[in-house]
A and B are shown apart, each in its own frame.
Chain A
């Protein structure tokens, strides 16, 4: 029919009206109606007849369909071309191997014979949208690169000349997995093992950011050899129409291909993530194990409750074996909420493996919110911010997870969240202090500051972002930043969700964790309020309850409540063992805390035992996964216990490994790395390796001051360790300076840890003694009094200081009396080995001074033994003992032996602390031994040096030694006078006694 221009507008108007009328009638009535057309209408009759007739015709397709997405007539014709021998793209069809509503699959071969291997050619019946070719091009490469033994290779994807898409894939000779399982009558274990092949394939694809979206038994074939092959990876995505849009709410999933296996979010056309594949795998496994699908029938309205596999199984024996663990695993995979499912296919596979191995299965209703944010926090702010690409990926993942849980109309909020988090990368300003141009710390600080400014109007969002940032700061170990942030976050959470909501409780928990450094009482009150609330929500809140108890134990320990601290920790351990297993990282972590807590309260024996147990468990569970944070931590705890039990030598190699592992785990200097350095330095010093240990400790202390400006326990511990280390090296002036600094801090901030105050006072007294301050003795005596009621070991140390002070004041008889009395009060066997060594050394030296070599010999032998069992290696720490022994050798006439020993000792002093008067002491005795061995020239040189050093000291015992030695070598009267003048009468209690040159060994006056 040609275009008819004979009708004008008003004609068509009339035709329109008439048509309306005619179409109201049933078709068979229309003929009559046409006949009845009268008057002016009559001339339209032919046209009307033609049109109505046309309308009836089945063939008429003009304007039938919209301009989009429909198979058109010519396309239908193309489909007829699907016959053997026809070509599709570069392939020739051989025979049809499958057909369905979706399309057909043919066995085909390359037409040009370039490759003889036949392929499976999949010809979908839909998806002929324009632009498909372009999309195929873009996606094909990533899909074709997917190579895995259990994935059918995609060789090629393209379109024919007519625009029809095709896929050429590896031809797999196999059966769908459900058929296979049925036919082979596989057991539960057999099914699962087969299924694990599938999970490995899917996980491989997920790692390359490819989601299958259409997992179902017909896409999982099993070859006769029992190998699985997955088909159609990403095909659903490729064929998706209109999925190139930039909008995040555009239908990403497109049409749902198999509703029985599709995840709820797919059915709702929401964005699809790996969680959808987890769901589909859950359905498949369910079907393999029970023979039915979880939601039989239509799935327009997905029911809230996932049915239990064991209840859907007809076979009683099978049902029995599914009950419990497998029920839980399937349940977890099939959760309505994507974030409540296994977070990855690997996690699902892991649980299945645990099931097969008879280990406790982890499938359980862990609180999704915490898990999600924990995951984000752990991966988003990695330690050491190398690539923003990684961060970008995690942001994307975070957004996907977030979106999956959040209803559609909150997606805008999710975009804001993402925008906010992304902007922290772009706009953070670098701060000084932490290494690197823009560090994780800088970014977090920036984010923290902007939360109030930018998100304050949306308390829920501010709370959520605050949680993420807070957890990251916590992970990196910046408690002073954390506290104000968490205070605000908890307030936001309370406003947004209510005071008793689990999210608010979590924020408060993190707040308490940060708060306890500054105000343990307040933290404790908070925890005492929160923990019962958390306990009431078990089992959903198990992780949080355990964390709360852990913090409670920690805080109680800080406040010196020993029994309640132990009790809280024991409860936490019990809960953890119950929920997560005895070898779980979380349980191991708590056990480590327990050994540390024992240590804190001085319970050394239990500390060592607990630490050993912890390390055993950790090695068993994680030994193959080095470096692993929990394994490293367990080694550190054990090393700490060793040091506390007086075995620093054993601890040092362990701590070296801990530091190395920690540095490879954390690529920037985190709290844990700082602590590892500190522990190693302390152990080195305790073992006498001062040359290495002291510089390491200095650096660690300096870094700690820088990174941890708040006056926390950690910083105090560093300061103490530094003082102790310097003392060990006899660097008295430096030690004094550090001590003064530390005491100033205590004065400013307060120190209400009683044990600590005693220890600090003891070090103070020690320093006084070494400086020759006459107040040393009385201070030590007072300290001994105070300590005797509280801490026997501390009292023993105080007694020791008293004796030392007396000896250094050149009052050896008094010193000897004091040390003998002290030994009676504190038998050596009850003291730690290094303290016993010091006791014996003092006794030995005092005995020598009063002229009792026999007594000295016994004491010095005991000292030597103690040093060995304390694992204190050759160092200046051992100097008193070695000096004493060398002097004994001299008395016995073994000058050569004495000379060698003293030379070695002097060399050590030269290295560690060359200007110390103690060095001078050693040199003087070395001179004497050298002279006795016949080498007077060298002796003179040595003596001159020694005396010069001794004269710098204010200590009477050294001044006297200098004077005596000078007098003993027979110098002239002139020298004597010089010596007399050099003595410092007011300070010393001794009056120098002139002796005639040549008289016996100078004995300091009593």
Chain B
């Protein structure tokens, strides 16, 4: 298997590139279709010969972790922009659109909570990353971690509840 940290670096670069390209196409800083991004970057890297067979599962896990950092990056930057007086340029549409669904605050909180969770149950963090940040299915998560999808579902529920507890939701 390729060296894990190197892969991560590569992957991060790859995903950032893709994400930037996506944003360039659109007009506003919006959240990304992470699932497609992950798959696409996987395929790119495979074609470029940067992955070996069997890396896919590991890849997905790493991709998810990377997605998390990318998303958090974006969210932080966006908040900074808004605070920095760019708020005026944000149209009504954007604000309302983005207030739908998951808020920036929530994302950052989840992120922080996951940091805490990492010291408690590493696997749960992976599962949250893969399901929530990368949008992978139960099946995909199961394959990636080498467990049954029933386990994934159970673990996911547990993770969720723990985060609920930690965040006081």
B73 at the interface (CB under 8 A from A): no
Among A12-20, A684-692, A852-860, the stretch that binds chain B is A12-20
Contacts of A1 in B (CB 8 A): 168-169
Q: SS class of chain B's interface: helix, strand, loop or mixed?
A: helix
Task: Report how far A66 CA is from B88 CA in the complex, Å.
Answer: 30
Contacts of B15 in A (CB 8 A): none
Contacts of B128 in A (CB 8 A): 63
Point out the residue from B102, B133, B165 that lies within 8 Å of A47, measured CB to CB: B165
A37-53, CB under 8 A of B: which get 1 and which 0?
00000000001001110
CB-based contact A130/B43 at 8 Å: no
Task: Report how far A320 CA is from B162 CA in the complex, Å.
Answer: 69
List of 8 A-B pairs having minimum Cβ-Cβ separation, nearest first: A3-B168, A242-B36, A130-B30, A66-B135, A72-B101, A242-B33, A163-B97, A134-B26
Among A247-255, A504-512, A600-608, A755-763, the stretch that binds chain B is A247-255
CB-based contact A23/B93 at 8 Å: no
Contacts of A50 in B (CB 8 A): 165
- Contact A52/B161 with A67-B133, A67-B135 known, Cβ cut-off 8 Å: yes
CB-based contact B97/A247 at 8 Å: no
Task: Report how far A13 CA is from B131 CA in the complex, Å.
Answer: 22
Closest approach, in angstroms, between the C-beta of B5 and any C-beta of chain A? 25
What are 30 of the A-B contact pairs (CB < 8 Å)?
Answer: A1-B168, A3-B167, A4-B165, A12-B116, A16-B120, A16-B121, A19-B158, A20-B154, A55-B161, A63-B110, A66-B35, A66-B133, A66-B136, A67-B31, A68-B31, A69-B33, A130-B30, A130-B32, A131-B25, A131-B26, A134-B25, A162-B100, A163-B93, A163-B97, A241-B33, A242-B33, A245-B18, A249-B43, A250-B36, A250-B40
Contacts of A12 in B (CB 8 A): 116-117, 120, 162, 165-166
Point out the residue from B101, B116, B119 that lies within 8 Å of A74, measured CB to CB: B101
Contacts of A131 in B (CB 8 A): 22, 25-26, 28, 30
- Contact A19/B161 with A67-B31, A162-B100 known, Cβ cut-off 8 Å: yes
Point out the residue from A13, A68, A162 that lies within 8 Å of B33, measured CB to CB: A68
A234-262, CB under 8 A of B: which get 1 and which 0?
00000001101111011100000000000
CB-based contact A15/B93 at 8 Å: no
Task: Report how far A50 CA is from B135 CA in the complex, Å.
Answer: 28
Contacts of B157 in A (CB 8 A): 23, 55
Residue ID in chain B nearest A2 by CB atoms: B168
Closest approach, in angstroms, between the C-beta of A228 and any C-beta of chain B? 35
A523 at the interface (CB under 8 A from B): no
Closest approach, in angstroms, between the C-beta of B107 and any C-beta of chain A? 8
Contacts of A1003 in B (CB 8 A): none
CB-based contact B28/A161 at 8 Å: no
- Contact A51/B165 with A67-B102, A68-B34, A163-B97 known, Cβ cut-off 8 Å: yes
Contacts of A368 in B (CB 8 A): none
Point out the residue from B97, B98, B119 that lies within 8 Å of A9, measured CB to CB: B119
Residue ID in chain B nearest A5 by CB atoms: B168
B163 at the interface (CB under 8 A from A): yes
Task: Report how far A16 CA is from B161 CA in the complex, Å.
Answer: 9
CB-based contact A241/B36 at 8 Å: yes
Task: Report how far A20 CA is from B161 CA in the complex, Å.
Answer: 11
A159 at the interface (CB under 8 A from B): yes
Point out the residue from B26, B117, B133 that lies within 8 Å of A244, measured CB to CB: B26
A690-711, CB under 8 A of B: which get 1 and which 0?
0000000000000000000000
B47 at the interface (CB under 8 A from A): yes
Interface residues on B, range: 35 or more
CB-based contact B36/A251 at 8 Å: yes
Residue ID in chain A nearest B167 by CB atoms: A3
CB-based contact B96/A23 at 8 Å: no
CB-based contact A130/B158 at 8 Å: no
B160 at the interface (CB under 8 A from A): yes
Contacts of A47 in B (CB 8 A): 165
- Contact A67/B132 with A19-B158, A20-B158, A241-B33 known, Cβ cut-off 8 Å: yes
Task: Report how far A67 CA is from B74 CA in the complex, Å.
Answer: 14
CB-based contact B135/A129 at 8 Å: no
Task: Report how far A159 CA is from B27 CA in the complex, Å.
Answer: 14
CB-based contact A134/B158 at 8 Å: no
A133 at the interface (CB under 8 A from B): yes
Contacts of A9 in B (CB 8 A): 116, 119-120
Task: Report how far A105 CA is from B169 CA in the complex, Å.
Answer: 38
Residue ID in chain A nearest B107 by CB atoms: A67
Tally chain A residues at the interface, Cβ within 8 Å. Answer: 52
Closest approach, in angstroms, between the C-beta of A163 and any C-beta of chain B? 4
A412 at the interface (CB under 8 A from B): yes
Point out the residue from A19, A24, A66, A134 that lies within 8 Å of B28, measured CB to CB: A134
Residue ID in chain B nearest A250 by CB atoms: B40
Residue ID in chain A nearest B162 by CB atoms: A16
Residue ID in chain A nearest B68 by CB atoms: A67
Point out the residue from B34, B100, B162 that lies within 8 Å of A72, measured CB to CB: B100
Task: Report how far A211 CA is from B43 CA in the complex, Å.
Answer: 26
B142-162, CB under 8 A of A: which get 1 and which 0?
000000000000100110111
A54 at the interface (CB under 8 A from B): yes
B164 at the interface (CB under 8 A from A): yes
B71 at the interface (CB under 8 A from A): yes
CB-based contact A68/B135 at 8 Å: yes
Task: Report how far A131 CA is from B168 CA in the complex, Å.
Answer: 32
Task: Report how far A670 CA is from B136 CA in the complex, Å.
Answer: 58
Contacts of B167 in A (CB 8 A): 3
CB-based contact B168/A23 at 8 Å: no
CB-based contact B31/A161 at 8 Å: no
Residue ID in chain B nearest A243 by CB atoms: B36
CB-based contact A130/B97 at 8 Å: yes
Point out the residue from A69, A74, A251 that lies within 8 Å of B135, measured CB to CB: A69
Residue ID in chain B nearest A160 by CB atoms: B93
Task: Report how far A871 CA is from B83 CA in the complex, Å.
Answer: 95
CB-based contact A245/B100 at 8 Å: no
Contacts of A23 in B (CB 8 A): 154, 157-158
B2 at the interface (CB under 8 A from A): no
Contacts of A241 in B (CB 8 A): 33, 36
CB-based contact A66/B162 at 8 Å: no
CB-based contact B47/A412 at 8 Å: yes
CB-based contact B27/A134 at 8 Å: yes
Closest approach, in angstroms, between the C-beta of A24 and any C-beta of chain B? 8
Residue ID in chain A nearest B30 by CB atoms: A130
A75 at the interface (CB under 8 A from B): yes
- Contact A159/B93 with A72-B101, A251-B36 known, Cβ cut-off 8 Å: yes
B77 at the interface (CB under 8 A from A): no
Contacts of A129 in B (CB 8 A): 33
Closest approach, in angstroms, between the C-beta of A148 and any C-beta of chain B? 29
Task: Report how far A16 CA is from B33 CA in the complex, Å.
Answer: 31
B44 at the interface (CB under 8 A from A): yes
B69-100, CB under 8 A of A: which get 1 and which 0?
00100000000000000000000110011111
B21 at the interface (CB under 8 A from A): yes
CB-based contact B92/A161 at 8 Å: yes
Residue ID in chain B nearest A1 by CB atoms: B168
CB-based contact A246/B21 at 8 Å: yes
Closest approach, in angstroms, between the C-beta of A401 and any C-beta of chain B? 22
Task: Report how far A51 CA is from B163 CA in the complex, Å.
Answer: 10
Task: Report how far A135 CA is from B26 CA in the complex, Å.
Answer: 7
CB-based contact B36/A63 at 8 Å: no
B11 at the interface (CB under 8 A from A): no
CB-based contact B132/A245 at 8 Å: no
Closest approach, in angstroms, between the C-beta of B100 and any C-beta of chain A? 5
Residue ID in chain B nearest A159 by CB atoms: B93
Task: Report how far A73 CA is from B99 CA in the complex, Å.
Answer: 11
A101-141, CB under 8 A of B: which get 1 and which 0?
00000000000000000000000000001110111010000
Closest approach, in angstroms, between the C-beta of B66 and any C-beta of chain A? 14
B134 at the interface (CB under 8 A from A): yes
Task: Report how far A24 CA is from B150 CA in the complex, Å.
Answer: 11
Task: Report how far A12 CA is from B166 CA in the complex, Å.
Answer: 9
Task: Report how far A292 CA is from B123 CA in the complex, Å.
Answer: 51
Task: Report how far A492 CA is from B143 CA in the complex, Å.
Answer: 42
Task: Report how far A13 CA is from B158 CA in the complex, Å.
Answer: 12
Closest approach, in angstroms, between the C-beta of A848 and any C-beta of chain B? 91
Closest approach, in angstroms, between the C-beta of A238 and any C-beta of chain B? 14
